[in-house]
Homo-oligomer: A and B are copies of this chain.
Amino acid sequence: MISEFDLIQRYFTRPAKSVVLGIGDDCALIRPPEGMGMAITTDMLCEGTHFFPDVDPRSLGHKTLAVNLSDIAAMGADPRWATLAVALPGVDEAWLAKFTDGFFALAARFGVELIGGDTTKGPLTLSLTMLGTYPIGHALRRDGACIGDDVWVSGETGGAALAVAHRRKRLTLTGPCLSYCANRLDWPEPRIALGRALRSIATSAIDVSDGLVADVGHLCERSKVDADINVDLLPASTAMKTSGVDAATIRHAMLAGGDDYELAFTAPVAARSDLHAVASRLGLPLTRIGAIVAGTGAVRVSDAAGAPILLTAGGFDHFR
């Protein structure tokens, strides 16, 4: 049986060039550059709650990092360092090799260095803490939305929720829609470049992990404003629209489905052309879906004709 120390050495240790001291001491030592603040976020993924027992370990490695990168993106920060705590029921080296392949492939793309963590015996659980740096005074917070701002969302929402429904056998996806939705759930793409571009444009931002309406709601609560969302403006994927899944189910997934990892953000009307330029430069659709109005944290959804859309659940809550 491989020892805990060999396991860390073999699977979790990569050169960390930007640290004072990496894996192998009581702590890692880091030094943020002059003029930069640090953004920190922690997300935990548990088998049965966040992923299915038969999950592809490569995609789980990717996703463990991606969901935290998404929080870094939503602050407009640059990802730098991560620590990873892993509870494993036992040592399965083939599984670990695939998990760390998926993890380090994404880490390499974004220049993230794994600088510490913990491995222990327990029910399969991943807890990642991600550190990023941002130019002081230029983080993208949730609390800056202003009355009159546009509400925007990147990419498309709802695909991950449809994939979950399919795997729970609540509906059946086939063909291009199945592969599109599975890819959205298993291989989310953190919007780091968008977050960085929004630093000087957006007034507030949040990542869409609990569901679009719920997350815009969190942003409104922190900003002490309301949002009016027009459901007919939401960007719907071609794969979903041509899937044969009924329109009401798709609409609910787009509004309330979790696990999308897009960014929702607000920006002044005057920034529209700048945002079109950002979308074009990044090859990432940015869609204006509503407006910020006076209020205390509510989100109202209606269709183009002005008829209100009522949601059955506000967003994802692990204890509901």
Measured CB to CB, the closest approach of chain B to A51, in angstroms, equals 11
Smallest CB separation, A203 vs chain B (Å): 14
**A36-71 interface bits toward B, Cβ cutoff 8 Å, 1 = contact, 0 = none:** 011111111111111000000000000000000011
A311 near B: Cβ within 8 Å? no
Check A83 against B40 for contact (C-beta < 8 Å). Answer: yes
- In the complex with contacts A29-B134, A141-B25, A319-B1, A118-B42 CB distance below 8 A: yes
Interface residues of A (CB under 8 A from B): 1-5, 7, 20-21, 24-32, 37-50, 70-72, 74-75, 77, 81, 83-88, 90-91, 115-123, 125, 127, 129, 131-132, 134, 136, 139, 141-143, 205-207, 222, 317-320
B117 and A42 within 8 A (CB):
yes
Given contacts A43-B118, A46-B123, contact A71 B27 (CB under 8 A): yes
Residues of B within 8 Å of A26, CB to CB, are 41, 70-72, 74-75, 142, 205-207
Report yes or no: A122 in contact with B49, Cβ–Cβ below 8 A.
Answer: yes
Provide a sorted-by-A list of 19 A–B residue pairs whose CB atoms are within 8 angstroms.
Answer: A1-B319, A2-B319, A4-B317, A5-B317, A26-B41, A26-B205, A27-B41, A31-B37, A42-B84, A42-B117, A44-B122, A46-B123, A47-B122, A87-B125, A88-B319, A119-B319, A120-B318, A121-B318, A129-B129
> In the bound complex, do residue B27 and residue A121 qualify as a contact, i.e. CB atoms below 8 Å apart?
no
Q: How far is the CA of A75 from the CA of B25 in the complex (A)?
A: 8
Question: Which single residue of chain B is at the shortest CB-CB distance from A316?
Answer: B4
Pairwise interchain contact B24-A40, C-beta atoms closer than 8 A: no
Q: Which residue, of A2, A21, A127, has the highest number of chain B Cβ atoms within 10 A?
A: A127
| Contact, CB under 8 Å: B42 / A20 | no
Enumerate chain B residues within 8 angstroms of A143, measured Cβ to Cβ. 25
Chain B contacts for A20, CB-based, 8 A:
37, 139
If the complex has contacts A28-B40, A41-B27, A142-B25, are A121 and B49 also in contact, measured as CB distance less than 8 A? yes
The listed residue with most B CB atoms (<10 A of its CB), out of A39, A84, A115, is A39
Whether B123 and A1, one on each chain, are in contact in the complex, defined by CB atoms closer than 8 angstroms, is no
Would B320 and A3 count as touching, CB distance under 8 A?
yes
B49 and A39 contacting across the interface, CB-CB below 8 Å: no
Q: Tell me whether B318 and A42 are in contact (CB under 8 A).
A: no
Question: Chain B nearest CB: distance from A175 CB in Å?
Answer: 33
- The docked-state distance in angstroms from the alpha carbon of A77 to that of B5 is 24
Residue from A42, A77, A139 with most neighbouring chain B CB atoms (10 Å): A42
* Distance of A233 Cα from B87 Cα, bound (Å): 37
Q: A27-B41, A30-B38, A125-B123 are in contact. Are A21 and B318 (CB under 8 A)?
A: no
Nearest to A91 among chain B residues (CB) is B319
The answer for the CA separation of A77 and B48 in the assembled complex, in Å, is 38
Are B129 and A83 in contact, with the CB atoms below 8 A? yes
